[in-house]
Structure 1
Amino acid sequence: MSKLLDVNLSCEISERIHSKATKCFDNAYQAALLSEEYTYVQGFLVLGKGACTIVEYSWLELEDKIIDPTLPHLNFDTQELYYFPAQSLSVKQLKAVIEESQEDYPEDDPLPIYGAAPYEYYGDLMLGGVDYLRAYQAAEAKCQELAGTDPHSLN
């Protein structure tokens, strides 16, 4: 069962934290601080149909819901958004990682979080481990499905 996007809660939280259009990681972090019940998630978002776009992204989850505090800034129909999680952190874990990152590397932005080193590179995209690779491949497969392309015919 895939989780459903809660549009109303996403918009409500976006307004509460004054989310910014190009700051999905910061938006999700600020929103996560509102409740210990949330799970902070990083992965990929597929935008659109046909010629879609894959972006590294962050959102929250609560039980069977996706809460996207950046949603009001996306210019896509919610039926054209597909979320592919790579990594999930409880609010407690998230706070601990951010605190440690700020102590160890105060000049660097602590988000996004990639887990333990060493990281694996894939393509020319970004850092991440095997979970990131799998999430990215799932997002690519979704784009191919939306475009009507058989992913096995590309080899």
Structure 2
Amino acid sequence: MDKPLDESRSKDIAKQVSSKAQSPFVNAYKAALVLEKAMYVQGFLVIAGRSYQPIEHSWLETEEYLIDPTLPHLHSAVENLYYFPAQRLTVKQLKAAIEEAEEDYPDDDPLPIYGSAPYDYYGDVMLGGKEYSQALQAAAAKCKDLNQHLAERN
């Protein structure tokens, strides 16, 4: 992770937006609306000691640090969290993408946002563009490394 995760700010914003455990994209969206100068980020999260594969996730990024409004629900120390960004959106871009998704696909959840085609696939699941593939590969490599260290200790 290039920038440190601000644990205190993450917990504060989580309370402010009433974050929910299984809703990282909605949590980050609500937090982005509150902290308008932050970037909404989608990508992957790896949790040391628990992640056997990358977790699709969303958080916020400022010039100095990361803010994860789902942090209180992760039940992990900050130093065990590794973030791999795939896509960054300003609040204005985020609002426009959600508006477009709601208009084009009214029966589907507008989040997460995968950008424009062409999309890549992992397994049989569609994923965003090349930046998603790159972030997934980096996160998968981190999982492999962490899992290998865990196996060596046991």
With structure 1 as the length reference, what TM-score do the two structures score? Answer: 0.89
1:35-61 Cα distance to aligned partner (Å, 9 max, x none): 220100000000123764410000000
What residue is the counterpart of 2:92 in the other structure? 92
Provide the C-alpha distance between the structure 2 equivalents of 1:62 and 1:26, rounded to a whole number of angstroms: 18
What residue is the counterpart of 1:152 in the other structure? none
Provide the C-alpha distance between the structure 1 equivalents of 2:51 and 2:3, rounded to a whole number of angstroms: 24
- Indicate conservation of the 8 Å contact 1:50/1:143, yes or no: no
Query: What is the alpha-carbon root mean square deviation over aligned residues?
Result: 1.6
The 5-angstrom pairing of residues 75-154 of structure 1 reads: 75-148=75-148
What residue is the counterpart of 2:60 in the other structure? 60
* Unaligned ranges ≥5, structure 2: 150-154
Provide the C-alpha distance between the structure 2 equivalents of 1:100 and 1:137, rounded to a whole number of angstroms: 29
Provide the C-alpha distance between the structure 2 equivalents of 1:53 and 1:74, rounded to a whole number of angstroms: 15
Matched residue pairs, number?
149
**Aligned-residue offset at 1:101:** 1.0
Provide the C-alpha distance between the structure 2 equivalents of 1:104 and 1:143, rounded to a whole number of angstroms: 36
Provide the C-alpha distance between the structure 2 equivalents of 1:107 and 1:144, rounded to a whole number of angstroms: 37
**Aligned-residue offset at 1:63:** 0.7
SS of the residue corresponding to residue 27 of structure 2 reads helix
Provide the C-alpha distance between the structure 1 equivalents of 2:148 and 2:50, rounded to a whole number of angstroms: 7
Provide the C-alpha distance between the structure 2 equivalents of 1:135 and 1:19, rounded to a whole number of angstroms: 25
- Indicate conservation of the 8 Å contact 2:117/2:128, yes or no: no
Quote the sequence identity (%).
58
Is 1:30–2:26 an aligned residue pair? no
- Indicate conservation of the 8 Å contact 1:49/1:143, yes or no: no
The 3 A distance-change label for structure 1 pair 19 and 124 is: same
With structure 2 as the length reference, what TM-score do the two structures score? Answer: 0.90
* Unaligned ranges ≥5, structure 1: 150-155
Give runs of ≥4 in structure 1 deviating > 6 Å: none
Provide the C-alpha distance between the structure 2 equivalents of 1:94 and 1:123, rounded to a whole number of angstroms: 27
